[in-house]
Amino acid sequence: MTKRVVVWLLLSLVPAQAHPYASYLDGVFLSFGMGLGGGSVLETGCDVPETDAGKMQAYNAKMAAYNDLKTALQQNQVQTVAKLKSLMNALSSLEPSSQALKLLANDPASGSVSTYQQYLNQILENYENANQQIINNAQNSVTGYKSALDTTTTQNQQSLTEAINIFNNVNTQIAKTDQSLKIPYTPMTLPSPLTPNTNVSSMTPTQVYSALQALKQTIDQAFATVNQQIQTLNPKIPSLTPPSISIATLPTAPQISSNAAALPSVAAPQKPLMAITNTGLQSKSLQLGVQTQVGYQKYFNSFFGVAYYGYLGYRYLYMSSFIKDSSGVDNVDRYQVGFGANMLFNLYSKIKKTRAKRPKIQAYGLFGGLLGMVDIWSASFSGSNTAYIRNNVNINAVFGLSLRVDQFKWSIGIHMPLINQMRNVSAPIDTGGFESLKIVDNYKSSALFMDFTEIF
């Protein structure tokens, strides 16, 4: 027996002693198979309502304070909007005819109990202060604008009164001059809205400003006409200079928005829940699935070679009714994609060349290698159509036995994850908590597989 082992080692390690037909073992291969593996469910969890009366009483007190705060915030928001609209109306009443003041009023879009209450009180105080600052700024804008408008209007009223007097004097002087020259004269009239009986103090700021501009233009035109007539009568007489009439520009109205500060986000109290966890459940689950491989194998002699391949697999995680009831999980699917390489050892290899195209091949042996794998877990829970996705990367040790007859080969082996990987899948439930499932991928979830391969 010892002599046979030595001979086999010499044949496998010394290429010069290789079988002349070893290349017939090479080729592209395609395989399909089935897998059966250990369970991947490590533990389940579920949150249920708390039964402690003290905790529920504290929670109810927090909820009452939370609801009171929301009401107070909304009331403050409404009050702030009303105050801002009132300021906007006051601003518009300063000058009803001013287009700059026609603003749109847009409504805005909408630890312990004592510690939580302090937190809520601080939020309300901050919100009230923010809105009060908005109101103060708007009030200051209106006050500043009113002061500037009053000053400008007073100046323009004085200028308008003086301009009316100048206009009347010019009218009188021209009338006397034309009468002495026996020239017919039609007295000038005040521009609209001015009349001989106009009360300047009753006019709005815009009316005063517009009337003053129109009257100045009329006076300047009258002096230009008189100068033209003087030059016609006697060019040596110097031209008359029209009087200086000052016009103060109206201030720009401030823009005031009716929007209050945005409602702050408030952390609602968390309903007290108890977490129920079930551990050590790997014996209550099982992996069933299929896989396919495509790759190439190369033999250096009749007894030793290598193969490298791409891998695709699917596993359905079968779970006992206990797991499903305790976690609310409907199903868990596992999708696998990877790339691997194996060493091939033929313990027996017989290649017989025939007249046919393909030689007769009989071989059986061992294989072993590594398979890098990406796992994609898809879990769905009862009462939900959402699939919760998790993934992990692992390296699998691969080893087993193979039997080849001609271009067909049968293999049986094991995939053993070498890295301990864990993933948590959780879904919200109506009680406010979560249903959870912990999935493990390690040596305890090793899988047995059987492959049928065709070598081309």
- Cα 176 to chain centroid distance, Å, stands at 83
- Nearest C-alpha neighbor of 378 from the set 335, 423, 333: 333
Termini Cα distance of the chain: 35
Sequence-distant (6+) residues with CB within 8 A of 217 are 191
Q: Rounded to whole angstroms, how far apart are CA atoms 260 and 257?
A: 8
Give yes or no for a contact between 95 and 43, defined as CB atoms under 8 angstroms apart: no
Phi-psi group of 318: left, alpha or beta (phi > 0 → left; psi -120 to 50 → alpha; rest → beta): beta
What string of pLDDT tens digits covers the 456 residues of the chain? 444 544 444 444 444 344 456 788 899 999 999 999 887 776 666 666 666 777 778 877 888 888 888 888 888 888 888 888 887 777 777 764 444 344 333 332 226 788 888 888 888 888 889 889 888 888 888 888 888 888 998 998 898 888 888 888 888 887 787 777 677 777 788 888 888 888 888 888 888 888 888 888 888 888 888 788 777 777 777 877 888 888 888 888 888 888 888 888 888 877 666 666 666 666 677 889 999 999 999 999 989 999 999 999 999 988 877 777 767 788 889 999 999 999 999 999 998 887 777 788 999 999 999 999 999 999 888 777 888 899 999 999 999 999 999 999 999 999 999 999 888 888 777 666 777 888 888 888 899 999 999 999
The model's pTM: 0.52
Give the angle 384-388-392 at the CA atoms, nearest 5°: 160
